Structure 1
Amino acid sequence: MAEPTPGTLLGEMRAKAPLVQCITNFVAMNIAANTLLAAGASPAMVHDMRESGEFAAVAGALTVNIGTLSPEWLGGMRAAAEAATRAGRPWVLDPVAHFATDFRRRATQGLMELRPTIVRGNASEILALGGGVGQGRGVDSGDEVAAAESVARALARETGAVIAVSGAVDFVTDGERSARVHGGSELMPRVTALGCALTCLVGAFAATRPDRSFEATLAAFAMFAAAGEAAAREAAGPGSFGWRFLDALAAVGPADLDADGRVVTA
């Protein structure tokens, strides 16, 4: 069977409008929810451990972002991840600045032991997750994507997860296959929490094709790149880019994701 293209998966995602449980940080909640709505999916920001596990069993996918971590939120993350795994639902981990403190390192190690389907991070986060030393400062990456590619491949083989590295040119690998995604805009890092929102969008595509995690991740990255490219054409700066980006997410079509040079095998 032929591998589905990003454009094909976009059509499927919009037709399905999957419910995605997003356990994300305080900064990202609004933009993450609006990103999913604009793209065609349905967000649910359910994080409390008294209900997160129960909800994960019925959602199409779970995304976990440790940006504003606390012991209570970590309990909700673990309960949801365990329930998603039991129910056979894909889940995505975004280990934000996991190298910055001991609490974050331990929390991320515990979440990785629960075997996420997909891990998305910037180059510094992926380098550190693979045991390397990066130049990251807090949530900001100090490393180029290319520096993390070999570590990402090894980490994918070790964990069985698809590893996705965000940057000027994104890199996605399942340990055997790899691809780079081109597009986006230099304005994207200047709008808070767009990377966190991308993690949630990856969850929407993973929910659409849980048997195609690699292709689903590429489709989400291609949609983000196409929308960023389109929004930047008319934006005067970060402020106008932010709302134009949401409009662009709603407007991009399958042909934009499948354009020549958008996704290139690595």
Structure 2
Amino acid sequence: MPARPPMGRDHGGIQALDRAFLILDVMADAGGEAKLTEIAATAGLNVSTCHHLISTLHNWGYVARGPNSRSYVLGSRILHLSAACLRQVDLPRRAQSFVDRLNDQTQEAVQLAIMQDTNLVNILRREARHAVRVDAGFGGNANAAHAAATGKAILAWLPPSELDRIVADKGLTAFTPNTITDIEALKEELRLTRRRGFSIDREEFRPGVICLGAAIRDHAGAVVGSISVSSPAFRATQDYLDQIKVHLIAVTDELSAELGAPGATLRGSIKSIAAE
């Protein structure tokens, strides 16, 4: 992690900005979530000053309330900046060899996607090698984050307030009879996605298409995109999907490591999809 710059007016800085950036650093070092008193103590600030600064960061979306409202988490604006930074260094270029490898291993269609504000955007795709291929909807799916495996892999790790904002803007369109169109059911699906470490689209976006997706993380642990593999439903047996899952998770973990993400997660390495 880069060293923090010297703080204070003596170093040509603005004290309030120094403190605000320090708060974000402290939260990142704490794993992205911390209580107000913990942040204040670590940053060397009194609780009142720290609360005012966090309130401003909250107004800008850089900080959000935690799931139990007794802590704070890094907000969606951090993801926006991180995604913009990755786009600057060309995420498709960085991910291309990983997507190609996954395409070789699975012989199925592979997609790389990111969230741009409330839009799900596919930025790289490799077609299936099989004679019978699927149309997983490479284009025109900006409002399909709740239905597509790539979208659910990203939504699962967003703050609740950001998920609510995306749903309020895009709605929960029913693309197929299997699409989740109830917000509470979607939240439960995203909870399961977090638990198992990958997402599943069970013919929710395209009839006859099953997709598995997994998140890509950066050096701060923030989700900056996702990769999915799409298979025709007739090929998607339990054993087949379990094999795809192993390759998918290995690729996304390795790509995340290349982007600086801490540690290997070994997501879903034990449970089969049928056990979920």
When normalised by structure 2's length, the TM-score is: 0.32
Rg larger in structure: 2
**Which structure's relative contact order is higher, taking Cα pairs within 8 Å and 6+ residues apart?**
1
